[in-house]
């Protein structure tokens, strides 16, 4: 073999690895039932939403499944009917049915075409509350939706310590909503000397953490307490770009009523309230959310696992060839609320103050009203300090 | 081996016979005289050699047929003497006649003989010593050759030419044979008779290789027809160097993927796939020990450093009983010094790595050392890739290999081999990967006689990886995961040639596996990470084998073999017992059995018949048939598109049966135009029993119940490979087309274990159409053009099929596994090379190569993935999209300078 010396002299081009949008021909004609159901330990109306999945590349709207019989049974032989409330929305009667920790529940669905679906039995675990929720100052790059730019933002990490009270692994799911309160006054001149004053107490709600938040990192399988678990990051902004509510005056009794407009304005935030829901998950729920989270976090990295079907816990028992997707979840939930006060965070001023868990007025079908307004009357959840 | 020894016996017989003919000369007629073409043809038939020449150089000379009855060397000497041509020998296989005659210009007087008289003849006898002077010049341009040496061997006297090419030498008067030499020039021997002070000029002529129409292959041209084996890819390093360079260097494994039946998942990706098999089904042996991860830099470069490699053989079918362990193929890589008696130093600087290579005798003819090393500086390349993850990544690797050969005596030789490779890369921001291969082997070759010898080898291969994730803001959750595999083997192979019709190999092979699947530790003192260690695995695989290469008749030869394999899964371990009426999931565990160290937990054994048949139809065509069965007891578990360093090796266990592969192939081989064009058609069928695949949502890493996330799959691979290769002429190259399918199917009883409802589905390596066109055109003596076009069907992929929402999250539901395909893959690479000098002995020889990879800038899809979009105005608030990732999306031109000294 001859000795060969190789010297690379010039590399004119560069390796250009990138990705581009791919629009493959998708071949699917099956109608696949989607089940979105959750029961908890709270005395509340539980919702089971039924719809058909849509082709991935279609622009079709959600196709609700109506006229289905929906009921839940428990391991004591009890049966609880869910009544149709809206299109594809089936709701339990809170006076008849409240989840009891320790019991197992199974969802049954019979659709109009006779297909019979059944979930795996789901055990409802006891409720566990966080021991403490606190804030630590931090900076974070946040993607601005309008400009598309990443901006370095001051704020705080909201952290949770949770004492595990059982031998089982600490498997919790946290959801958090931030309600920003703002108010303004509209003056209406009734005549030359008379002004009517209308105070508007408004709010806007955002998801404080858009990702699925599960305790126990992939390898934090320590059965002891959960320490410093990140709940969300909150910035220290004091204004909000929110909906403007107008006023319609009834001249007969000089009362006013709100008019929801389509215009948005900047308002100074009066207070922010963090609503925290901590779900205690059983093993199946935890794994489902974990798979769901992996799918949502998937970014096409080289060593990402090959995509796999996100199979839930519901099967068609009348025909095993028929698929069903979604999940029937039974999880206890613990609610708590905190006033967010970041005004002097760096000087170790209290940043979170626990407050009663009072939700903003709730329209039908929603857990938390995304935005709203009440004029002239201070709402029950309103904070004055 | 058999042929060589058989020939040796035959040649000995010929010598005896020819001696008798010399003693008893016979009357011969004109038919006893042969032309040079006839002589060469008979020599090529008789010996595994190939000649290159032009008939006109022999000026219609004829040779007596009896010279063929001499030994090969004697025959060659006769031809050289008669024709006055020189011969260059390459690897004792290729013989090139060249019309280069030493030209001696007589100076200043020439007697009747070849002896040149220097000095004044009248002063003969007057002096005892005299001074010889003169010039040593280039015979072509008459330019002086400073440094050329003039030497009288007998007197051990010599001198060198000065800057003007002049020399002075004082020697005793009388007759002397003067040897003149200079690097890159033919030696010149001249007899002189020095009588008094005198001068004499000498001319030397440059040596050159003039092989514009020759492509050098180490194999005999007809071996594809005459050998019993089929489905074999054999490359020596010279053949590989004919291929286009990739990123500034030659890569053996990347080159192998251009051969029929061998594919790869794309520009990235570790290993290769042979006839639809996964990468872990290939046994890649370097000096008898296997590699468990063959890639550097995500698969961009293979860990096999081509420096020091003398031979690479890939067996795709008809695998000899000497080999086992892996189901699909064997790649046997051998190292060795090109010339063990000469020191060579070799080095290089590439675009992403540098190499150094030393080949030297430590004790002449006794101990030789071969040492090679590579190290990378590839970060700049990653940072220039416009992918956010790769831009935030870093990568570094090195590898070192060494081989020491001890020639104890004629009968005993020992080789000691060592290899280490290490890769470290940071992917994205916080995740560090580190993995290493450590290989070592000792091989003792002992010959009892010419017909019986053995190779006793002991080796080990240790593969380690570590993944660590460290976030400075959350150091308490930082962790590292370590995993390791230790492979140890002893192999004792005997080769025996009882007679010219049999060549036997037999022996034993013992392998032990120790796998540490994973250990998790926190990285800091106050870590919240609990230490987790997945139960280690241990197993032994023993085999005895016998193979016989039988020549039944000149037309029919067989390679018969049988291998018996006995595998045992050993403790310490805990084996879970699952409820038979439920799917194998952790929840269905009803009991466990604990075994102590080295307790046999379960046994698997099997007989592996091997058969290769060659039936010769004519001098240049044959039909071959082969069958082999192989058991595989170690599998790489992966659920990523790319073979990842974090993939887990898993042994066959009570709950995971061993993979059994049955492979049948039949082929027709035919050569044309005096073996300068080779063609073949091969058809194969593989049945794979108990391939391991992962269930949907499987967790591979640190899973104590990994076997519960796996399911047994049966596979069927079949295909047809068409191949044509042109070996000589200005245009050389090959074309291959492969049609193949690779199917898998579960036969599970429970839904959780089923993939695609037990319906057959294409494996990840199913790419039905594959076309390779390679052309190498010698434009002139110095200019060469090379192009390689490759096309293959896009590989199967699982794509998003449905969308739905759950608890406010927008989600997707993927199709059945591998239901769709990526777009077809095709790429054209071209290169043109200019050789600066063709002179053999010139110290510095350079060549320029300009190449363009992906000439027409095809954006070949490497993988498809779904990505959640940021909720932005710019993307119209889309929730998600499907993308394809491509690695080399535009023409990639490179200019490379190679040089030799």
Q: Across chain A, what does the average pLDDT equal?
A: 82
What are B622-677's pLDDT values in tens digits? 999 999 999 999 999 877 766 666 788 999 999 899 999 999 999 999 998 878 89
User: What is the C-alpha to C-alpha distance for residues B479 and B467, in angstroms, rounded to an integer?
Assistant: 8
| Sequential DSSP letters for B731-798 | EEEEEEEEEEEEEEEE--SSGGG-SGGG--EE-TT---EEEEEEEEEE-SSSEEEEEEEEEEPPPEE-
- Nearest chain B Cα distance for residue A125, angstroms: 18
Other Cβ atoms less than 10 A from the Cβ of A130: the count is 20
Q: Which of B868, B882, B889 sits opposite A17 (nearest CB)?
A: B889
Q: Which of A12, A296, A306 sits opposite B809 (nearest CB)?
A: A296
Q: Is B528 on the interface with A (CB under 8 A)?
A: yes
Chain A interface test: which of B211, B803, B846, B849 (most A C-beta within 10 Å): B803
Does B381 sit within 8 Å of A55, measured CB to CB? no
Angle at A57 between CA A51 and CA A58, to 5 degrees: 55
Torsion, Cα of B855, B856, B857, B859 (10° steps): -120
User: What is the C-alpha to C-alpha distance for residues B143 and A141, in angstroms, rounded to an integer?
Assistant: 73
Query: What is the 3-class SS of B346-403, one letter each residue?
Result: EEEECCCEEEEEEEEEEECCCEEEEEEEEEECCHHHHHCCCCHHHHCCEEEEEEEEEE
- Nearest chain B Cα distance for residue A62, angstroms: 8
Does B897 sit within 8 Å of A9, measured CB to CB? yes
Confidence tier at B784 by pLDDT (50, 70, 90): confident
Chain A interface test: which of B357, B794, B804 (most A C-beta within 10 Å): B804
pLDDT exceeding 90 applies to what percent of chain B? 30
Q: Which of A1, A16, A62 sits opposite B386 (nearest CB)?
A: A16
Q: Is B466 on the interface with A (CB under 8 A)?
A: no
Tokens of B481: 């995961």
Q: Is A19 on the interface with B (CB under 8 A)?
A: yes
Q: Across chain B, what does the average pLDDT equal?
A: 81
Mean of the pLDDT values across residues A83-110? 94
Which helix (H) or strand (E) segment is A14 a member of?
none
Chain A residues with CB-CB distance to B338 below 8 A:
1-2
User: What is the C-alpha to C-alpha distance for residues B57 and B99, in angstroms, rounded to an integer?
Assistant: 7
Q: Which of B248, B264, B484, B476 is nearest to B381 (CA)?
A: B248
A225 pLDDT exceeds 90?
no
Q: Which residues of B321-330 are buried (b: 16+ CB within 10 A; e: fewer)?
A: bbbbbbbbbb
Chain B residues with CB-CB distance to A220 below 8 A:
477, 528-530
What are B508-562's pLDDT values in tens digits? 999 999 999 888 888 877 777 778 888 999 999 999 999 999 989 889 999 999 9
Q: What part of B 362-381 touches A (C-beta under 8 Å)? A: 381
B746 pLDDT exceeds 90?
yes
**Where do the H-state alpha helices sit in chain A?**
283-297
**Which residues, listed in sequence order, are joined to residue B361 by a DSSP beta bridge?**
B368
Q: Is A6 on the interface with B (CB under 8 A)?
A: yes
Query: What is the 3-class SS of A329-361, one letter each residue?
Result: EECEEEEEEEEECCCCHHHCCCCEEEECCCCCC
Q: Which of B426, B822, B380, B863 is nearest to B645 (CA)?
A: B426
Q: Is residue B26 exposed (0-12), middle (13-18) or buried (19+ Cβ within 10 Å)?
A: exposed
Chain A residues with CB-CB distance to B351 below 8 A:
8, 11
Rg (alpha carbons) of chain B, rounded to whole number:
32
pLDDT at B886: 77
> Where in chain A are the domains?
33-124+282-330, 132-280+332-375
The reply to whether omega before B209 is within 30° of 0 (cis) is: no
Q: What part of B 753-812 touches A (C-beta under 8 Å)? A: 757, 764, 798-807, 809, 811-812
Helices and strands, counts by H and E, chain B = 8, 58
Q: What part of B 110-129 touches A (C-beta under 8 Å)? A: none
Does A298 sit within 8 Å of B866, measured CB to CB? yes
Mean of the pLDDT values across residues A189-215? 85
Which chain A residue shows the shortest CA-CA distance from B638? A305
Q: Which of B267, B276, B271 is nearest to B825 (CA)?
A: B267
Residues in chain B, how many?
901
Chain B residues with CB-CB distance to A15 below 8 A:
381, 384-385, 887-888, 892
pLDDT at A324: 93
Residue labelled with tokens 């579960």: B746
User: What is the C-alpha to C-alpha distance for residues B156 and A350, in angstroms, rounded to an integer?
Assistant: 98
Torsion, Cα of B8, B12, B18, B20 (10° steps): -160
pLDDT exceeding 70 applies to what percent of chain B? 80
Which chain A residue shows the shortest CA-CA distance from B703? A219
B113 pLDDT exceeds 60?
no
Q: Which domains does chain B have, with CATH numbers?
A: 2-98 (3.55.50), 109-204 (2.60.40.10), 223-397+410-471+478-526+542-900 (2.40.170.20)
Residues B173 and B130 sit within 8 Å (Cβ to Cβ)? yes
More confident residue, B364 or A147: B364
B1 pLDDT exceeds 60?
no
Measured CA distances, A343 to A140, A206, A236, A272, B898 (Å) = 18, 20, 8, 12, 67
B718 pLDDT exceeds 80?
yes
Q: Which of B867, B883, B892 sits opposite A15 (nearest CB)?
A: B892
User: Can you say whether residue B212 is alpha, beta or left, with left for phi > 0 and alpha for psi between -120 and 50 degrees?
Assistant: alpha
Lowest mean pLDDT, pick from A117-121, A222-226, B153-157, B883-887: A222-226
Q: Which of A24, A36, A138 sits opposite B805 (nearest CB)?
A: A36
Which chain B residue shows the shortest CA-CA distance from A298? B867
Residues in chain A, how many?
385
Q: Which of A7, A13, A301 sits opposite B893 (nearest CB)?
A: A13
Q: Is B211 on the interface with A (CB under 8 A)?
A: no
Q: Which of B389, B806, B900 sits opposite A301 (nearest CB)?
A: B389
Q: Which of B551, B520, B517 is nearest to B653 (CA)?
A: B517
Q: What part of A 364-383 touches B (C-beta under 8 Å)? A: none
Q: Which of A8, A302, A305 sits opposite B268 (nearest CB)?
A: A302
Q: Is A228 on the interface with B (CB under 8 A)?
A: yes
User: Can you say whether residue B696 is alpha, beta or left, with left for phi > 0 and alpha for psi between -120 and 50 degrees?
Assistant: beta
Phi, psi dihedral angles at B600 (to 5 degrees): -70, 125
Which chain B residue shows the shortest CA-CA distance from A326? B806
B299 pLDDT exceeds 90?
no
Confidence tier at B238 by pLDDT (50, 70, 90): low
Chain A interface test: which of B529, B697, B705 (most A C-beta within 10 Å): B697
Q: Which of B546, B559, B534 is nearest to B483 (CA)?
A: B534
Tokens of B729: 């002429």
Q: Is A45 on the interface with B (CB under 8 A)?
A: no
Mean of the pLDDT values across residues B252-262? 84
Which chain A residue shows the shortest CA-CA distance from B389? A301
Does A54 sit within 8 Å of B696, measured CB to CB? no
Q: Is residue A177 exposed (0-12), middle (13-18) or buried (19+ Cβ within 10 Å)?
A: buried
Q: Is B526 on the interface with A (CB under 8 A)?
A: no
Confidence tier at B217 by pLDDT (50, 70, 90): very low
- Nearest chain A Cα distance for residue B601, angstroms: 29
Chain B interface test: which of A214, A306, A321, A331 (most B C-beta within 10 Å): A306
Q: What part of B 832-891 touches A (C-beta under 8 Å)? A: 859, 861, 863-868, 870-874, 881-891
Which helix (H) or strand (E) segment is B170 a member of?
strand B166-172
Chain B interface test: which of A14, A22, A58, A162 (most B C-beta within 10 Å): A22
Does B890 sit within 8 Å of A8, measured CB to CB? no
B36-46 and B72-83 helices, crossing angle to 10°: 160
Which chain A residue shows the shortest CA-CA distance from B335? A1
Residue labelled with tokens 């009968």: B411
Mean of the pLDDT values across residues B778-787? 85
HSE-CB at B75 with a 13 A cutoff on CA atoms is 23
| Sequential DSSP letters for B825-893 | EEEEEEEEEEES---TT-S-EEEEEEEEESTT------EEEEEEPP--TTTTT--EEEEEEES--S-EE
More confident residue, B221 or A140: A140
Other Cβ atoms less than 10 A from the Cβ of A337: the count is 21
Residues A338 and A354 sit within 8 Å (Cβ to Cβ)? yes
Q: Which of B268, B346, B385 sits opposite A4 (nearest CB)?
A: B346
B28 pLDDT exceeds 80?
no
């Amino acid at each position: 073999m001859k000795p060969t010396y190789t010297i690379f002299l010039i590399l004119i081009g560069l390796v250009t690895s990138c990705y581009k949008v791919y629009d493959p021909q998708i071949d699917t004609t099956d109608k696949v039932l989607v089940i979105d159901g959750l029961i908890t330990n709270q005395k509340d109306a539980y919702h089971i939403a039924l719809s058909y999945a849509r082709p991935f590349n279609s622009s079709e709207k959600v196709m609700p499944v109506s006229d289905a019989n929906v009921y839940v049974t428990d391991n004591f032989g009890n049966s609880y009917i869910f009544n149709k409330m809206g299109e594809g929305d089936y709701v339990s009667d809170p006076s008849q049915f409240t989840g009891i920790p320790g019991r197992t529940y199974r969802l049954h669905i019979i659709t109009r075409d006779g297909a019979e679906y059944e979930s795996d039995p789901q055990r409802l675990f006891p409720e566990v509350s966080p021991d403490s929720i606190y804030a630590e100052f931090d900076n974070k790059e946040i993607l601005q939706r309008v400009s598309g730019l990443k901006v370095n933002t001051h704020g705080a990490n909201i952290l949770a310590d949770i004492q595990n009270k059982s031998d089982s692994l600490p498997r919790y799911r946290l959801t958090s909503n931030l309600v920003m309160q703002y108010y303004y006054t509209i003056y209406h001149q009734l005549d030359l000397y008379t002004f009517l004053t209308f105070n508007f107490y408004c709010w806007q709600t955002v998801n404080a953490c858009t990702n699925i938040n599960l305790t126990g990192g992939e390898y934090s399988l320590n059965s002891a307490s959960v320490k410093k678990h990140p709940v969300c990051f909150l910035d220290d902004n004091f204004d909000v770009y929110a909906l403007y509510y107008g006023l319609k005056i009834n001249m007969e009794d000089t009362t006013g009523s709100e008019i929801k407009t389509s215009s948005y304005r900047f308002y100074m935030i009066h207070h922010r309230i963090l609503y925290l829901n901590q779900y205690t998950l059983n093993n199946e729920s935890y794994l489902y959310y974990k798979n769901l989270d992996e799918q949502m976090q998937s970014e096409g990295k080289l060593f990402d696992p090959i995509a796999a079907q996100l199979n839930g816990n519901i099967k068609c028992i009348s025909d095993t060839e028929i698929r069903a997707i979604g999940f029937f979840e039974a999880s206890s939930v613990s609610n708590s609320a905190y006033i967010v006060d970041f005004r002097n965070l760096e000087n170790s001023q209290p940043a979170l103050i626990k407050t009663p868990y009072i939700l903003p007025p709730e329209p039908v079908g929603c857990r938390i009203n995304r935005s709203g307004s009440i004029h002239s009357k201070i709402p029950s959840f309103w904070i004055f300090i | 081996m058999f042929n060589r020894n058989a020939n040796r016996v035959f040649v000995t017989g010929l010598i005896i016979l020819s001696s008798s003919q010399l003693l008893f000369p016979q009357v011969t007629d004109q038919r006893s005289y042969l032309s040079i073409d006839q002589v060469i043809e008979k020599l090529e038939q008789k010996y595994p050699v190939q000649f290159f020449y032009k008939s006109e150089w022999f000026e219609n000379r004829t040779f007596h047929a009896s010279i063929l009855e001499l030994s090969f060397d004697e025959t060659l000497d006769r031809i050289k003497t008669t024709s006055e041509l020189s011969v260059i020998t390459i690897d004792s296989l290729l013989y090139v006649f060249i019309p280069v005659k030493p030209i001696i210009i007589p100076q200043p007087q020439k007697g009747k003989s070849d002896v040149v008289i220097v000095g004044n003849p009248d002063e003969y006898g007057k002096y005892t010593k005299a001074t010889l002077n003169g010039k040593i010049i280039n015979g072509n341009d008459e330019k002086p050759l400073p440094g050329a040496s003039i030497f009288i061997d007998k007197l051990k006297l010599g001198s060198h030419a000065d800057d003007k090419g002049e020399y002075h030498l004082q020697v005793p008067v009388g007759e002397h044979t003067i040897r003149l030499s200079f690097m890159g020039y033919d030696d010149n021997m001249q007899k002189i008779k020095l009588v008094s002070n005198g001068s004499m000029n000498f001319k030397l002529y440059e040596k050159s290789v003039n092989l514009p129409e020759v492509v050098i292959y180490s194999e005999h041209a007809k071996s594809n027809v005459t050998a019993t084996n089929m489905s074999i890819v054999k490359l020596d390093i010279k053949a590989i160097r004919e291929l286009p360079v990739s990123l500034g260097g030659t890569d053996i494994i990347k080159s192998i993927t251009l051969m029929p039946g061998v594919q790869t998942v794309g520009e990235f990706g570790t290993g290769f796939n042979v006839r639809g098999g996964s990468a872990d089904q290939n046994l890649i042996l370097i000096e008898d020990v296997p590699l468990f991860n063959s890639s550097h830099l995500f698969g961009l470069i293979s860990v096999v450093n081509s420096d020091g490699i003398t031979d690479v053989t890939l067996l795709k079918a008809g695998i000899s009983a000497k080999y086992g362990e892996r189901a699909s193929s064997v790649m046997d890589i051998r190292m060795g010094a090109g010339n063990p008696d000469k020191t060579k130093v070799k080095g290089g600087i590439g675009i992403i790595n540098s190499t150094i290579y030393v080949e030297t005798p430590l004790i002449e003819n006794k101990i030789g050392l071969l040492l090679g090393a590579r190290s990378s500086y590839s970060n700049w390349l990653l940072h220039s890739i416009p992918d956010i993850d790769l831009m935030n990544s870093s990568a570094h690797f090195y590898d070192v290999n060494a081989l020491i050969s001890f020639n104890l005596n004629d009968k005993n030789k020992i080789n000691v081999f060592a290899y280490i490779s290490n890769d470290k890369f940071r992917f994205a921001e916080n995740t560090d990967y580190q993995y290493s291969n450590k290989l070592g082997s000792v091989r003792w070759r002992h010959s009892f006689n010419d017909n019986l010898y053995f190779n006793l080898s002991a080796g080990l291969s240790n593969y380690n990886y570590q993944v660590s994730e460290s976030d400075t803001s959350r150091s308490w959750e930082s962790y590292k995961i370590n995993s390791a595999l230790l492979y140890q083997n002893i192999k004792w192979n005997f080769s025996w040639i009882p007679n010219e019709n049999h060549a036997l190999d037999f022996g034993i092979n013992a392998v032990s596996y120790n796998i540490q699947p994973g250990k998790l530790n926190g990285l800091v003192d106050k870590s919240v990470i609990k230490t987790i260690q997945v139960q280690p695995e241990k197993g032994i695989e023993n085999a005895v084998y016998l193979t016989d290469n039988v020549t039944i008749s000149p037309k029919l030869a067989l390679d018969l073999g049988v291998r018996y394999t006995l595998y045992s899964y050993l403790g310490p371990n805990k084996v879970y017992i699952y409820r038979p009426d439920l799917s194998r999931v952790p929840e269905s565990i009803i009991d466990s059995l604990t075994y102590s160290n080295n307790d046999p937990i379960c046994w698997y054994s099997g007989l592996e018949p091997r058969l290769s048949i060659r039936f010769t139809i004519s001098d240049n065509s044959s039909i071959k048939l082969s069958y082999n069965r192989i058991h595989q007891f170690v599998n790489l578990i992966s659920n990523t598109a790319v073979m990842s360093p974090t993939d887990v090796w898993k042994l066959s266990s009570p709950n995971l049966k061993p993979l059994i592969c049955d492979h049948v192939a039949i082929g027709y081989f035919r050569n044309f135009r005096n073996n300068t064009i080779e063609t073949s058609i091969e058809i194969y069928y593989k049945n794979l029993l108990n391939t391991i695949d992962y269930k949907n949502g499987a967790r591979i890493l640190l899973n104590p119940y990994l076997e519960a996330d796996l399911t047994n799959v049966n596979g069927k691979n079949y295909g047809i490979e068409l191949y044509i290769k042109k070996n000589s002429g200005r245009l050389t190259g090959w074309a291959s087309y492969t049609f193949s399918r690779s199917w898998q199917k579960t036969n599970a009883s429970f839904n959780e274990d089923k993939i695609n409802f037990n319906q057959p589905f294409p494996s990840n390596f199913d790419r039905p159409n594959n076309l390779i066109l390679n052309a190498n055109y010698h434009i002139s003596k110095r200019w060469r053009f090379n192009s390689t076009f490759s096309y293959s069907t896009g590989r199967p992929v699982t794509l998003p099929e449905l969308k739905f929402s759950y608890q406010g999250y927008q989600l997707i539901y993927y199709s059945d596994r591998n239901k769709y395909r990526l777009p077809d893959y095709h790429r054209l690479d071209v290169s043109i090379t200019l050789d600066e000098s063709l002179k053999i002995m010139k110290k510095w020889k350079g060549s320029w190569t300009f190449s363009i990879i992906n000439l027409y800038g095809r954006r070949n899809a490497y993988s498809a993935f779904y990505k959640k979009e940021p909720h932005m105005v710019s993307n119209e608030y889309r929730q998600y999209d499907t993308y394809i990732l491509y690695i080399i999306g535009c023409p990639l031109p490179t200019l490379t300078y190679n040089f030799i000294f």
